Homo-oligomer: A and B are copies of this chain.
């Protein structure tokens, strides 16, 4: 279980890395929304590997096909099924991991949970699973767009190198102009060097991605267990390699005083606003009309070209494993569209849920 996300707007993803295909079924999409395969493809192309010198050179095409729920270019309110065929790939190189779990990967835990697993390319735990999320998120973004809500993500730290604080406009302008998806061009250059060095070291590096949601009206979020920050935290923590989530001032709040942390209310252009945004746009689990700000900690890529200690599960002997193939030496730049997708899914779900409060 656990392959469905969302209550009023939901996605159900399916598929393994080396199975016939990967896909998603969206339920709860409002009818009458203009939707084409191009809308989806644009986001999938941002997710796709092989786009830059630092991502895996595998050439995956990942052409999406919409199979239901759209008629004459518009959604009909019925489920939208989408899928991407996997390329026939030689999976013999994965034979080694059948019995030897890779450190930092889900091989061991899937085996312990299910007693059986499709080990090829990580099977269901492969990053290819995010194709379904990104496709679903693309539809969520289109819904949000109708309500003036926009989602942006960018890399703010990579391999220990921190970007300078940036304005929203800079993110829009810069984030897709460099391979590390950092909105600070200077930091981006240093980050890129750091990534190349990591690859040379047969190692990998982690980083931090920030996600912003602009234009979210006050009132989204359902206390007390479906708070907006609960759902964002759960959604973002569930992306592979994410080990931490924070909202607004996040972990820095722990060292602040109340008089520093509290965002005062004031009037601006006839509207109630906050003078600061330490809360990150959410108070008591409900959006307050400010920009929603999340940051996620992304661990270094677990697949590294060095020999690592592991156990051969067939005879419980200690051994070493060296993972073949070429892998991204860092994940945060590629997580950007996935984090946007998960954020969009949470917000679209809550937007639709909130519509029931009108009467």
> Quick check: is A187 within 8 A (CB to CB) of the other chain?
no
A202-214 near B? 1/0 per residue, CB < 8 Å: 0111111000000
> Quick check: is A308 within 8 A (CB to CB) of the other chain?
yes
Point out the residue from B14, B237, B248 that lies within 8 Å of A67, measured CB to CB: B14
Given A113-B354, A262-B302, A272-B316, 8 new contacts (CB under 8 A): A3-B224, A71-B116, A78-B123, A110-B223, A203-B257, A206-B257, A231-B234, A244-B251
> Quick check: is A89 within 8 A (CB to CB) of the other chain?
no
Known: A243-B246, A288-B109, A359-B355. A313 touches B1 (CB 8 A): no
CB contacts under 8 Å to B, within A296-324, are 297-304, 306, 308-311, 313, 316-318
Chain B nearest CB, measured from A113 CB (Å): 4
> Quick check: is A333 within 8 A (CB to CB) of the other chain?
no
A20-47 near B? 1/0 per residue, CB < 8 Å: 1111010110111000000000000000
What residues of chain B lie closer than 8 Å to A262, measured between beta carbons?
A: 103-104, 302, 304, 308
Known: A1-B8, A23-B67, A123-B76. A311 touches B258 (CB 8 A): no
25 A-B residue pairs with CB within 8 Å: A1-B226, A4-B12, A13-B79, A15-B79, A16-B68, A19-B67, A76-B117, A77-B116, A78-B123, A78-B124, A103-B262, A109-B285, A110-B286, A112-B288, A113-B286, A114-B357, A206-B256, A207-B254, A225-B234, A227-B237, A229-B238, A233-B237, A243-B246, A251-B251, A256-B299
Are B114 and A77 in contact, with the CB atoms below 8 A?
A: yes
Interface of A is mostly: mixed
What residues of chain B lie closer than 8 Å to A288, measured between beta carbons?
A: 108-109, 112
Chain B nearest CB, measured from A338 CB (Å): 12
